[in-house]
Amino acid sequence: MNLLAYDWQPLWLTFRLATLTAAILLVLGVPLAYWLAFTQHRLKPVCEALISMPLVLPPSVLGFYLLLAFSPQHAFGLWLEHYLHIKLVFSFAGLVLGSVIFSLPFMVQPLQTGLQSLPVSLLEASRSLGKSDGYTLFRILLPNMKAALLTGIVLSFAHTVGEFGVVLMIGGNIPGVTKLASIAIYDEVESLNYAAAHFYAAVLFLISFVILLAVYLVRRQQVSALVRG
């Protein structure tokens, strides 16, 4: 197999998108998970339901409504394009925003679970010493939930790698811009070019397996260290 004969651009775009999405979700997900873990606000169930919607909605449904929202034929998309000169439909930026929304629960839920599983005494001791919420979160709570952080990052990354419906609806199939590996596989199968489809699928399978294996090995070492301690 001549690897140079294949177009690597879809793979590069896929992992670039997954990396950006995981990074953005980490920044957004940590404070959001902190709020959800400890708030008693009456709108908490509504927020949790909205965040979890991508878990149950067909990707095409979410992609369709994002396409409508981002389209310049509708108010929000027109405002973005006219006043901010931002085009989200059929662009890489649109893929990033759509992926952040689509993969949000895969970051927030592990972090929220990790925060809620920590001893309450950590939070109470920090607050009794007059520490701010920001200090408590980043200096006390997060260092004690590394497994949850790792899980959120990996799940967000892996879920973005496997996206198809949402990115196809928002980004279409523009080579070098929005044509991801999952879309390339679909195109090659449609063209009966199974060798190329196998190449893209095998690369995604191998990298996803290696990432997940590394996570489980790290978690196993952490559990072993806790048992020995």
Please tell me which residue, 199 or 2, carries the higher pLDDT value: 199
User: What is the structure's pLDDT at 99?
Assistant: 95
Average pLDDT over residues 25-37: 95
Give the model confidence (pLDDT) of 126-142 as tens digits: 878 888 878 888 888 88
- Label residues 138-174 b or e (16+ Cβ within 10 Å = b): eebbbeebebbbbbbbbbbbbbbbebbbbbbbbbbee
Closest CA to 151 of 53, 20, 16, 29: 29
Q: Which residue has the higher pLDDT, 217 or 37?
A: 37
- What's the CA gap between 127 and 135, in Å, rounded? 10
The C-alpha atoms of residue 28 and residue 26 are separated, in whole angstroms, by 6
Confidence (pLDDT) at 85: 84
Cα–Cα distance, 81 to 84 (Å, whole number): 6
Write the class of the CATH domain 7-228: mainly alpha
Q: What is the pLDDT at residue 78?
A: 86
pLDDT of 2 higher than 70:
no
**Confidence category of residue 225, pLDDT binned at 50, 70, 90:** low
- Give residue 142's identity as a one-letter amino acid code: L
Res. 3: pLDDT tops 70: no
pLDDT digits (tens, 9 = 90+) for 67-79: 998 888 888 888 8
Among the listed ranges 4-8, 97-101, 125-129, which one has the minimum average pLDDT value? Answer: 4-8
| Per-domain residue ranges of the chain | 7-228
- Reported pTM: 0.89
